[in-house]
Amino acid sequence: MGGRYLARRVLQAILTITFIILLNFLLFRMMPGSPERVLARNLPEAARAQLLVRWGLDKPLIPDQLVAYVSATLQGDLGESYKFRGRSVVDVLGERIWPTLILFGLGEVFAIILGLGLGAYSGWRRGGAVDYVGNGVSLILYSMPYFVIGMALLIVFSTSLGWFPTSGMYTIGASYSGLEQQLADFLAHLALPLTTVAIGLIGQYSILMRSSIIDTLTEDYVTTARAKGLTEGRILRSHALPNALLPAVTLVAINLGYVIAGAITVEVVFNWPGIGTLTVIALSARDYPVLQGIFLLLSVSVVLANLVADILYGALDPRVRT
Work out how close the CB of 68 gets to other proteins at its nearest, in angstroms, rounded to a whole number: 22
Nearer to other proteins, 31 or 254 (CB): 31
Rounded to 10°, the helix 179-217/241-269 angle is: 140
Considering the complex, state which of residue 17 and residue 52 has its C-beta at the smaller distance from other proteins. 52
Nearer to other proteins, 16 or 41 (CB): 41
Looking at the DSSP assignment, which residues form a beta bridge with residue 88?
Answer: 80
State the minimum distance, in angstroms, from the CB of residue 219 to other proteins: 14
Contact 40, 52 (CB under 8 A): yes
How long a stretch of residues is the chain? Answer: 322
The smaller minimum CB distance to other proteins, of residues 66 and 130, is found at 130
Q: Could you tell me the smallest distance in angstroms from the CB atom of residue 179 to other proteins?
A: 8
Q: How far is the CB of 264 from other proteins (least distance, A)?
A: 11
Compute the least distance from the CB of residue 188 to other proteins, in Å. Answer: 3
Q: Which is nearer to other proteins, 60 or 162 (CB)?
A: 162
Buried-state track 98-116, b at ≥16 Cβ within 10 A, e below 16: ebbebbbeebbebbbebbb
265 near 149, Cβ under 8 Å? no
Look at residues 80, 75, 63 and name the one whose alpha carbon lies nearest to residue 22: 63
**Residue of 107, 141, 110, 137 whose CA lies nearest to 122:** 137
